[in-house]
Structure 1
């Protein structure tokens, strides 16, 4: 039995992939459980009930506060973990936080893998996302059937903490490549090209990237909601990525430049829009020249 706590924007396609692979999935979310139930999941009334029922428990929560509440709050999971149970943590938190989480789980006799998701919810739904895995090699091998049900692309990188480091590296490139795509799309429009044509032509050549392929059509259409990757979601990765680079003494000229543009978008109240909307900042500044 698989348990899923956090069946929202990212957790729902993870749960659906598991069910399509033949796993029985029980889950908990405070509200909006209809899509999960419609897909074949069984909604339970508390995190504790999910932890009690599941052999493998996946956590997909937005921040450390939410994770802590599910862990140790009223009807939390910690008291329901025991030997033989496995926790797979999908959330992105500080390395120190994850290590403390793993120690608490181990004290209950259970085991934990760190599994960072690299990819948007649509990429997860299409099984094109990647999972970066941190934890014991033997536990990773035992969990392969679950991981392979989520996506064929999963990489064991080392101990707990290694996966979040790789996720921050990947998301620094998401920021850089999205701003680069916006710069190219804006430059094309200023040069007189139809933006849809720019998106079509560039994505077929050497200048393309995954982010260009995903976000250039959105930029061409000026369509930024509903957002597969909103500014609000990216924000914590910008901060965590900057902190990691600083702690390692690494210069990040492109990431630092990109961060300023995404922070500007947030300051303008664009948090719920997709990060592709960064092109509108470039367009606004272009009109001022």
Structure 2
């Protein structure tokens, strides 16, 4: 099977490498020449445009940072829509507003190209070890065509129905991620300030009812303070927080825990932690608690 990957950053690059390791023929594209040069030496054929990726692949995965990037890849010069109708499916993996994905869907539909909304739950680091989950939505035929690819890059994949449901599910998941990440930091800071050993907290709490996926994944980052090796950078996470907040307001739901967590992320950004991992909220809470390590 030939698989295309457009957007070869932290997430897309990890996915492309896993596809190569799984035996797929992989063609990729990114606007960054440096990234293309690096991955071109790792078994990935580098195309000159998104259109060329679509012409070469049966399943095209897009992992992009912004609505503008998606619009350019789908309908800009050399975009996927220029490849025309064919037995291919585009799988949009990014976390973006549903309206932006729907606009892309309509453009591709006019060109006779199917598209799935299939955001990823997990960080770039988790993608390296295929410890991610995919929330796929759209046509069942498109899902079945892409299913073998999902098996090459993720530990699980859930088909959640009509186009857009994947993003709705991702927003709900990310609301929990936002809260649980802060909760993990808060618990660690309380434990350390009370005199407990940080590694002991990780081991003991991680084995009990108080643990969470974020405690397991980001707790070690907080304890080791390896924030510069980011799985999800704070400035990128800000985009996700804005999307979730807007989604909740549109549906008239109260999100008191999410709102409190968002205020702490904003404070961390204001403190200069823009390129660090989101686990860096632990450092902010340590400062607020006057905890010295």
Q: TM-score range by the shorter chain?
A: over 0.9
Deviation at 1:39, TM superposition (A): 2.6
Is 1:57 aligned with 2:60?
yes
Moved more, 265-274 or 47-56: 47-56
- Name whichever of 247-256 and 46-55 sits farther off: 46-55
Assess if the C-alpha contact under 8 Å between 1:84 and 1:109 holds in 2: no
Q: Which residues of structure 1 form unaligned runs of 5+?
A: none
2:44 pairs with one of 41, 45, 53: 41
Question: TM-score, normalising length from structure 1?
Answer: 0.95
Mapped partners of 2:25, 2:221: distance in 1? 36
Q: Is the 1:4–1:11 contact (alpha carbons within 8 Å) kept by the matching residues of 2?
A: yes
1:231 aligned to which of 226, 229, 234? 234
SS at match of 2:27: strand
Give the equivalent residue in structure 2 for 1:255. 258
Instruction: Deviation per CA, 1:135-155: give whole Å up to 9, x if none.
Output: 012321222111111223000
Residue 208 and residue 161 in structure 1: after superposition, are their counterparts in 2 closer, same or farther (change >3 A)? same
Matched, 1:77 2:80: yes
The residue that corresponds to 1:18 in the other structure is 19
Residues 152 and 212 (structure 1), Cα distance of their counterparts in 2 relative to 1, 3 Å cut: closer
Compute the displacement of 1:275 (Å). 1.0
Structure 2: segments with no counterpart, 5+ residues: none
TM-score, normalised to structure 2, is 0.94
Count of aligned pairs between the two proteins: 288
Confirm or deny: 8 A CA contact 1:51 1:81 kept in the other structure: no
Task: Indicate conservation of the 8 Å contact 1:48/1:77, yes or no.
Answer: yes
Q: Indicate the larger mover: 177-186 or 218-227.
A: 218-227
Looking at structure 2, the residues matched to 136 and 82 of structure 1 have their Cα atoms a distance apart, in angstroms, of 16
Residue 105 of structure 2 corresponds to residue 102 of structure 1? yes
What's the C-alpha RMSD, in Å, of the aligned pairs? 1.5
Cα separation, 1, equivalents of 2:234 and 2:175:
14
